[in-house]
């Protein structure tokens, strides 16, 4: 018969893993092995789960109401974080053909890929909430600016940004414009 450890035992195990830096070392080793294949790395559920465990203690203290993945590729990562933190998650509409709700907020931006893009989300996800944004590769500063504007228009507060990779432009923007939030990332691209 198999038993599941109690929450206390699990917390002790995680504390020991963090103390010994085993989670950090495992993440760094995996990143080194896959440094030439970003897509494979950010789609690895094992890596994303370990990263979520690493972030869990810090994010629990941030008074977060909801997690929003800001790209389709980041939905698995945001789901893991929401599960670990016991939070709600709100998935934006990534296809305009599926938008049927009239209570939405929309923002347009000119992406660094030279496309006009849009970000559409239900007002219930961004009105008067403390928001954590999640992504796997956050490399479009114009998208970040547009989403921050959208959150501000809904009177929501950004409590944090978590990503595996962050682009230099996004990191510079965050550093130059203090967002009153925390930012977590593994590597800069």
Total of domains in the chain: 1
- Assign residue 19 the CATH number of its domain: 3.40.50.2020
Does 2 map to a domain?
A: no
| 67 burial level (CB within 10 Å; 0-12, 13-18, 19+) | buried
Does 1 map to a domain?
A: no
Does 115 map to a domain?
A: yes
| DSSP 3-state of 131 | strand
- pTM to 2 decimals? 0.82
With tokens 């950010």, the residue in question is 42
Which structural domain, as residue segments, surrounds residue 122?
7-188
Buried (b) or exposed (e) across 113-144, using 16+ Cβ within 10 A?
A: eeeeeebbbbeebbeebbbbbbbbbbbbbbbb
Per-residue pLDDT of the chain (189 residues; tens, 9 = 90+): 566 766 777 677 777 777 778 888 888 888 888 778 888 888 888 889 989 988 888 888 888 999 999 988 999 999 999 999 999 998 887 665 555 555 766 766 767 666 777 677 787 787 899 999 999 999 999 989 988 988 888 899 989 899 999 999 999 988 887 666 788 888 888
Q: What are phi and psi of 99, to 5 degrees?
A: -80, 115
Most distant CA pair in the chain: distance in Å? 57
């Amino acid at each position: 018969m198999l038993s599941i450890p109690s929450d206390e035992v699990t917390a002790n195990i995680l504390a020991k893993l963090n103390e010994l830096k085993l989670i950090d070392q495992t993440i760094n080793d995996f990143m080194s092995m896959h440094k030439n294949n970003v897509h494979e790395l950010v789609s690895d559920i094992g890596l994303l789960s370990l990263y979520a465990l690493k972030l869990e203690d810090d994010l629990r203290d941030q008074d977060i109401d909801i997690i929003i993945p800001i790209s389709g590729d980041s939905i698995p990562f945001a789901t893991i974080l929401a599960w670990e933190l016991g939070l709600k998650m709100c998935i934006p509409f990534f296809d305009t053909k599926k938008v049927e709700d009239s209570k939405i907020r929309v923002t347009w931006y000119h992406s660094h890929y030279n496309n006009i893009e849009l970000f559409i989300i239900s007002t219930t996800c961004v009105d008067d909430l403390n928001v954590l944004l999640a992504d796997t590769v956050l490399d479009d500063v114009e998208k970040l600016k547009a989403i921050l504007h959208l959150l501000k228009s809904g009177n929501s507060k950004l409590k944090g940004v978590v990503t595996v990779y962050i682009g230099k432009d996004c990191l510079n923007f965050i550093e130059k414009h203090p967002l009153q939030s925390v930012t977590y990332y593994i590597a800069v691209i």
